[in-house]
Amino acid sequence: MHKWTSRILTTLALSVSITGTAFAEPFKIGYLLPNPVSEIGWSSELAAGGRALEEHFGDKVELQMIENLGEGPDSARVMNKMAADGVGMLILGSFAYQQEGVKLAARYPDLKVVHIGGYLQGPNFSTLTPRHYEAAYLCGMASGMATETNSLGVIAAFPLPEVLNIMNAYVLGAQRSNPDIEPVKVIWLNSWFDPANEKASTESFASQSVDVVFSLFPGTPAPVVAAEELGIYVTVTHSDNSRFAPNRHLCAGQLHFGPTLITKVQEAMDGAFQENDIFAGVQDGTIEAAGLGGPLTQAQKDEILAVQEEMRAGTFNPFTGPIAAMDGAEMIAAGAALDDGAIKGMNFLVQGINTNLPK
């Protein structure tokens, strides 16, 4: 049985008027995370989103955060208990939580559910997916600028559409800044959280003359620390890791869950919860390129940030053609751009990647 720990992140107190009459009780939020909250990574940034809620709403909310919550029966039991106890909202931080979340949102009319990273829709249920691919494109530009061997490596979890669009955007960004890069190497972890193999994969890439590694969804600083020790550059998703690799950290896709979660909690508190599918990126303040370092000159950083500003203005889509798949087939025609549905459902790899999709 998975062990999970519960941390009550808010000291609760009822607001009492001068006459002693209590105001409304705080809005109760159950906040579930799949991994331990470490110094960086997915659960760390989700926890930061919870802190943003506390800072914004103060004692108007009661936040119960549970980290390292296993999938399957453990998470279902916790979610059902919270719903039965009358929480007003569940914020779910794992892809695997969404099936039970949809069921509970339909069963309890007063419960609102925000699922981060999912795709299902239903009554009282909303999804939030970061546009990781936008920051990945920018970090790809940085990687193309920094490499001396023209050899890049990607450490990836599973061949899901979200992973594929991030990987593709990274490679397209690298090709933009450096047309001479070799086909990008890939190691598939088949896990969302495997620090030992992330480190081993970084070491393996270094032995193959890869001098920039992109760790896609790291849960700890393991690949970043390894890159610093090996003398190669590293880019990551989720969190700025520059403090763990002061000389070799090149770029990170820094997440900011707070702004969108604040909006969703306010909707629920106002009785105006929207059952929407949110795809949030640079334009929404949900993600940005951060920790630009390594050998990048100020002019190169400015070039990367200028593209980020185009994203912020809504004038640049990384998936604008012409773009070909690995076999050379045209996937996006010149001048055309993928819409959000096609990006979310991406099922191909762009030309310039040296891997086969695991089955």
33 domain residue, yes or no: yes
Last residue of a domain, one of 115, 130, 145: 130
The pLDDT tens digits of the residues spanning 23-63 come to: 579 999 999 999 889 888 899 999 999 999 999 999 999 99
Same domain, 103 and 181: no
Task: Say how far residue 166 (Cα) sits from the centre of its chain.
Answer: 10
Last residue of a domain, one of 109, 130, 151: 130
The pLDDT tens digits of the residues spanning 141-200 come to: 999 999 999 999 999 999 999 999 999 999 999 999 999 999 999 999 998 889 999 999
Residues 226 and 248: their CA atoms lie apart, in Å, by: 10
The pLDDT tens digits of the residues spanning 96-135 come to: 899 999 999 999 999 999 999 888 999 999 999 999 999 9
What are the beta bridge partners of residue 27? 61
12 domain residue, yes or no: no
CATH number, domain with residue 214:
3.40.50.2300
Strand duo 152-156 + 212-215: pairing: parallel
Same domain, 229 and 342: yes
Same domain, 196 and 310: yes
268 domain residue, yes or no: no
Please state the domain count of the chain: 2
Same domain, 137 and 223: yes
Same domain, 87 and 222: no
Mean pLDDT of 304-331: 97
Q: Which domain holds residue 189?
A: 132-254+286-354
Same domain, 41 and 146: no
Last residue of a domain, one of 107, 130, 153: 130
SS3 category, 130 = strand
Same domain, 52 and 126: yes
DSSP line for 205-272: HHHTT--EEEESS-SSSHHHHHHHHHT-EEEEEES--GGG-TTTEEEEEEE--HHHHHHHHHHHHTT-
